[in-house]
Amino acid sequence: MTCCVSESERAEGRAVGITGDLRLIPNDVEVGALRAGAPVDRAQARKLLEVDDDVQLVVCCARLAHQKGQDVLLRAWPAVVAAEPQARLVLVGGGPDEEALRRQARGVEHVRFLGDAPRETSVAWMVASDVVTCPSRYEGMSLVPIEAGALGRVVVASDVEGVREGGWGPARVVVPVEDADALAGALHQVLADPAARAEAEAVAWACGDDLAQQPRAADRVLELYAELLGRA
């Protein structure tokens, strides 16, 4: 028995020759608790974080590491700022690549490194954002896009395992892995159309409502153990 957190991961397992029962138990988040611990809306979050209302805020919440692709995001960012001068990028998190990324960001406008932050701070930045971006090189099924969607935010993410799953519709914009130009274009497209973004945010919130009604992954894992023990 092999447990997979996304359909993409299960397909990849089969492709490399893993046989037997590959059981799908997708990653999820506890939507009710997530929302209860977050600011009530973007305005409140921005007041808390001292972000001006007219800023177009892009947030990346992830460990600063090669896997997470912040170097690709920094390559994309000058084109975003050139098209949207009010755009600001906040990188939430620390990690082994922080020094290298800070060096890469020298001379790049409107980039802020927040460093390691408590979970409630990361959540507040997501609520304050106009876009949450996840430029990873690989994942199983990342939790950040799920959290951001459940908080009613549009996600621009690279096309890694699990990112297309969950039925997020226009609230999930997917670009090729390591394609800085495509990433810049997608971020600009979302920032440049507030009306379409608001519609996508409503879709994201509704998808979060649906997710809240589904069985939790932890419960499904317990059921799987019970099934296996019953077999034994």
Q: What is the pLDDT of residues 12-37, one digit of tens each?
A: 888 999 988 888 888 889 999 999 99
Confidence band for 166, pLDDT divided at 50, 70 and 90: confident
Domain 29-211 has CATH 3.30.420.40: no
The answer, yes or no, to whether residue 232 has pLDDT greater than 60, is no
List Cα–Cα distances, 114 to 60, 178, 207, in angstroms.
10, 23, 29
Question: Could you tell me which residues come within 8 angstroms of residue 148 by beta carbon, excluding any fewer than 6 positions away?
Answer: 61, 126, 129, 132, 155, 204
Q: What is the pLDDT of residues 40-60, one digit of tens each?
A: 999 999 999 999 999 999 999
Mean pLDDT in residue range 129-142: 96
Q: What is the reported pLDDT for 131?
A: 98
Q: What is the reported pLDDT for 214?
A: 84
Domain boundaries along the sequence of the chain: 1-27+214-232, 29-211
